Structure 1
Amino acid sequence: MRQHLTQSLHTALEATHPYRLTQAHLPPSAHGRTALLAVGKAALPMLAAAEDHYGPTLTGFGVTRDGHGGPTRYLPLYEAGHPTPDARSLNAANKALELAGRLSPSDHLILLVSGGGSALLAAPWGVSLEEKQALTQALLASGATIQEINAVRKHLSRIKGGRLAQATPAHVTALLLSDVPGDDPSVIASGPTVPDPSTFQEALAVLDRYGLDFPSARRHLERGARGALEETPKPGDPLFERVENRLIGTNQDFLEAARTYWEGVGYRTLILSDRFQGEARELARFHAALVQSIRAHHTPVPPPVVLLSGGEASVTVRGSGRGGRNQEFLLWLAHFLDEAGVWGIAADTDGLDGNTEAAGALLTPHTLARARAAGLSVRDHLERNDAHGFFAALGDLVVTGPTQNNLNDYRALVVV
Structure 2
Amino acid sequence: MREALIGSLHHALTAAHPARLTTPHLPDEPPALILAVGKAALPMLQAALARFPGTPYLAVPKAGAALPALPPGGEVLPGAHPVPDGRSLEAARRVLQAVARLRPEQLLLVLISGGGSALLCAPWGVDLATQQALTQALLRSGADIQEINALRKHLSQVKGGRLAAATRARVWALYLSDVPGDDLSVIASGPTVPDPSTYAEALAVLERYGLEFPAVRAHLEQGLRGELPETPKPGDPLFTRVENRLIGSNLTLLQAARAYWQERGYPTVILSDRFQGEARELARFHAALVESIRASGEPFRPPVVLLSGGEASVRVRGTGRGGRNQEFLGWLCHYLGERGVWALAADSDGIDGNTEAAGALLSPDTWVRAHRFGLDLKAHLEQNDTHHFFRALGDLLITGETQSNLNDFRALLVE
Using structure 1 for the length normalisation, give the TM-score: 0.98
The equivalent of 2:88 in structure 1 is 89
Q: Which runs of 5+ in 1 are unaligned?
A: none
| Alpha-carbon separation, structure 2, partners of 1:281 and 1:227 | 41
The equivalent of 1:172 in structure 2 is 171
Distance apart, 1:413 and its partner CA? 0.3
Sort the Cα spacing of 1:69 and 1:102 in 2 relative to 1 into closer, same or farther, 3 A: farther
The equivalent of 1:70 in structure 2 is 67
The equivalent of 1:209 in structure 2 is 208
Distance apart, 1:67 and its partner CA? 2.0
The equivalent of 2:296 in structure 1 is 297
Moved over 3 A (4+): none
1:44 and 2:42 matched: yes
Structure 2 SS opposite 1:306: strand
| Alpha-carbon separation, structure 1, partners of 2:23 and 2:64 | 23
Structure 1 SS opposite 2:311: strand
1:69 touches 1:77 (CA, 8 Å); kept in 2? no
Distance apart, 1:190 and its partner CA? 0.1
Cα deviation code 1:70-117 (max 9, x no counterpart): 032232222111000000100111111111110111100111000000
Matched to 1:163, the amino acid is R
Structure 2 SS opposite 1:65: coil
1:29 touches 1:54 (CA, 8 Å); kept in 2? no
Structure 2 SS opposite 1:79: coil
Matches within 5 A, 1:259-338: 259-338=258-337
| Alpha-carbon separation, structure 1, partners of 2:79 and 2:192 | 21
Distance apart, 1:212 and its partner CA? 0.4
Matches within 5 A, 1:15-54: 15-30=15-30, 34-54=32-52
Using structure 2 for the length normalisation, give the TM-score: 0.99
Cα deviation code 1:12-63 (max 9, x no counterpart): 0000001111112111234xx521110000111011111111011x112101
1:60 and 2:53 matched: no
Matches within 5 A, 1:16-415: 16-30=16-30, 34-56=32-54, 58-71=55-68, 72-74=70-72, 75-415=74-414
Structure 2 SS opposite 1:309: strand
| Alpha-carbon separation, structure 2, partners of 1:395 and 1:34 | 50
Q: Which runs of 5+ in 2 are unaligned?
A: none
Matched to 2:324, the amino acid is R
| Alpha-carbon separation, structure 1, partners of 2:164 and 2:311 | 28
Distance apart, 1:236 and its partner CA? 0.7
Structure 1 SS opposite 2:309: strand
1:223 touches 1:229 (CA, 8 Å); kept in 2? yes
Matched to 2:399, the amino acid is T
Distance apart, 1:69 and its partner CA? 3.8
Cα deviation code 1:232-271 (max 9, x no counterpart): 0000111101101101111001000000000011100000
Cα deviation code 1:127-150 (max 9, x no counterpart): 000100000000000000000000
Distance apart, 1:169 and its partner CA? 1.1
Matched to 1:237, the amino acid is D
1:361 touches 1:396 (CA, 8 Å); kept in 2? yes
| Alpha-carbon separation, structure 1, partners of 2:65 and 2:19 | 14
Cα deviation code 1:167-220 (max 9, x no counterpart): 111110111000000000000000000000000110011001001001110100
1:62 touches 1:76 (CA, 8 Å); kept in 2? yes
Structure 1 SS opposite 2:291: helix
Q: What is the aligned-residue RMSD (CA, Å)?
A: 0.8
- Percent identical among aligned pairs is 66
Structure 2 SS opposite 1:340: coil
Structure 2 SS opposite 1:27: coil
Structure 2 SS opposite 1:414: strand
The equivalent of 2:5 in structure 1 is 5
| Alpha-carbon separation, structure 2, partners of 1:412 and 1:378 | 21
| Alpha-carbon separation, structure 2, partners of 1:67 and 1:373 | 39
